[in-house]
Amino acid sequence: MILYRAHLLWSDSLNELRDIEDGGLLVDEAGLIVASGSFDETVAQHPLTEVRDLRPHWILPGLIDLHVHLPQYESVAMDGLELLPWLNTHIFPAEARFADPGLAKSAAQQFFGDLLSLGTTTAVVYSTVHQEATDIAFREAESCGIRCAMGKVMMDQNAPEALSEDTETSLQQSDELIQQWHGKADGRLLYALAPRFAPMCTPALMRGVGTLSEKTGAYIQTHLAESLDEILWVAKLFPECANYTDVYRQYGMLNTRTLLGHGVHLTATERAMIRRAGSTIVHCPSSNAFLKSGVMPLRRWLEEGLLVGLGTDVAGGPTLSMWNEMAMAGTVSKLRCTLLQEPEATVKPAEAFHLATRGAASSLGLKDRIGGLDKGMEADFIVVDPRVVDPAKRNDDATDRVLSRLIYRAVPRMVKATFVRGSQCFIQES
């Protein structure tokens, strides 16, 4: 066992932070947190344990990115287009290149390595339509130690020719990947079925996805109500459905393991449908700003009781940093507050931090295992140096001020080390 000594900070709920200034985090060989509390108490209870003194660094739970596209990483920050033309111009050609296993391997190594270096310990990932590239990505995730839920993209209509598949093959290959990877590495690797979005999926495919999810416990990830042009397209393609969300409801894709990317433009009826199903909206504010999709009213969705997490949505979002995403969630909420005169819209750093840790874990059904530093949880944590982002290099500042700087002034070198289930997956070269 190892006892880590540092300032411990984690979130209990949207409004409550847990904060132990001279803390001890005791982790056993299996990567479980055996104790977390004051250092003096913890060391008194476990006097013979090896101590690693990390002061003045802080320990936080690892960050959770609920929506990100591995094959799009090479296409980040391509400015100038909105969602549908951006997909055709930049994204589909990039995804088609993943037919090459060599490229799939090197891209996955870079992607997971960069996520870990930024403090992300869990990611919910879209691969491409390629079964082999997805298998390769899972192998890389297995060996680098990151926790992830991932799936091959599924598209059986309106997709470019190089990425089109027939319904049966898409479902069959997804099922094979589920058998191979869902729950592997003692549950560190999970499968997330990935029908891209309604315009590129037939009702038969979506029904098959719902059935597979029920049968296997795999997650479902897809996109919903991201841009206005997309919503018009869905209305044309699915006249039998009352609205965009109703497409997913009618064809069996809404359950408690469904992660719906974006949800920028949702009617009250749609929000009620999502709440009833217990599905999660994944807020991707950087991507929504970058592609001019809109500004999701995060505060309102939270007050209505919707489950919400955060996602970088690379390459719609320009960076893999969840720090950046937390900052953007705060920033766009403030823009809503001033531009749209919604005085209550502002989202605080502690709330964004909750959405990126324990809140996201809860959406994944993993709130007892990850997202916090409580006894009995798996030790997914990061070591950060708050002085890196503090011009005054303080060691004794108030926690809410420290957290605000970590989020709004984040730079990669403030993350010193990243651990998943007690294993060190990243350490910053000094």
Binding site for Zn ion (CB under 5 A): 261, 313
Residue written as tokens 């003194």? 53
Q: Which is nearer to Zn ion, 262 or 405 (CB)?
A: 262
Instruction: Give strand ranges (E) for 118-275.
Output: 120-126, 147-151, 153-154, 189-195, 219-224, 258-262
Q: Which is nearer to Zn ion, 11 or 127 (CB)?
A: 127
User: Residue 153 CB, nearest distance to Zn ion (Å)?
Assistant: 10
Residue written as tokens 């919604």? 342
Phi, psi values for residue 196, rounded to 5°: -55, -60
DSSP 45-97: HSTTSEEEEEEEEEEEEPEEEEEEEGGGGGGTT--S--HHHHIIIIIHHHHHG
User: Residue 278 CB, nearest distance to Zn ion (Å)?
Assistant: 21
Q: Which is nearer to Zn ion, 56 or 160 (CB)?
A: 160
- What is the DSSP code (8-state) at residue 163? G
User: Residue 31 CB, nearest distance to Zn ion (Å)?
Assistant: 30
Q: Which is nearer to Zn ion, 42 or 286 (CB)?
A: 286
User: Residue 62 CB, nearest distance to Zn ion (Å)?
Assistant: 21
Q: Which is nearer to Zn ion, 84 or 242 (CB)?
A: 84
Q: Which is nearer to Zn ion, 270 or 313 (CB)?
A: 313
> Would you tell me how many other CB atoms lie within 10 Å of the CB of residue 109?
15
User: Residue 231 CB, nearest distance to Zn ion (Å)?
Assistant: 16
Q: Which is nearer to Zn ion, 135 or 313 (CB)?
A: 313
User: Residue 69 CB, nearest distance to Zn ion (Å)?
Assistant: 6
Q: With CA atoms as reference, report the closest residue to 75 among 318, 248, 269.
A: 318
User: Residue 226 CB, nearest distance to Zn ion (Å)?
Assistant: 8
Render the burial of 158-173: b for 16+ CB within 10 Å, e for the rest. Answer: ebeeebebebeebbeb
Report the DSSP beta bridge partners of residue 378. 32
Q: Which is nearer to Zn ion, 58 or 126 (CB)?
A: 126
Q: Which is nearer to Zn ion, 126 or 181 (CB)?
A: 126
> Would you tell me how many other CB atoms lie within 10 Å of the CB of residue 210?
21
Let me know: does 260 contact 364? Beta carbons within 8 Å. no
Pairing assessment for the beta strands 423-427 and 415-420 based on DSSP bridges: antiparallel
- What is the DSSP code (8-state) at residue 389? G
User: Residue 35 CB, nearest distance to Zn ion (Å)?
Assistant: 39
User: Residue 317 CB, nearest distance to Zn ion (Å)?
Assistant: 9
Q: Which is nearer to Zn ion, 83 or 254 (CB)?
A: 83
User: Residue 54 CB, nearest distance to Zn ion (Å)?
Assistant: 35
Residue written as tokens 């909420």? 333
Q: Which residue's CB atom is positioned nearest to Zn ion?
A: 313
Q: Which is nearer to Zn ion, 199 or 261 (CB)?
A: 261
Q: How far apart are CA 129 and CA 91, in angstroms?
A: 13
Q: How far apart are CA 132 and CA 155, in angstroms?
A: 16
Q: With CA atoms as reference, report the closest residue to 347 among 280, 298, 418.
A: 298
Let me know: does 82 contact 229? Beta carbons within 8 Å. yes
User: Residue 311 CB, nearest distance to Zn ion (Å)?
Assistant: 7
Sequence-distant (6+) residues with CB within 8 A of 87 are none
> Would you tell me how many other CB atoms lie within 10 Å of the CB of residue 334?
12
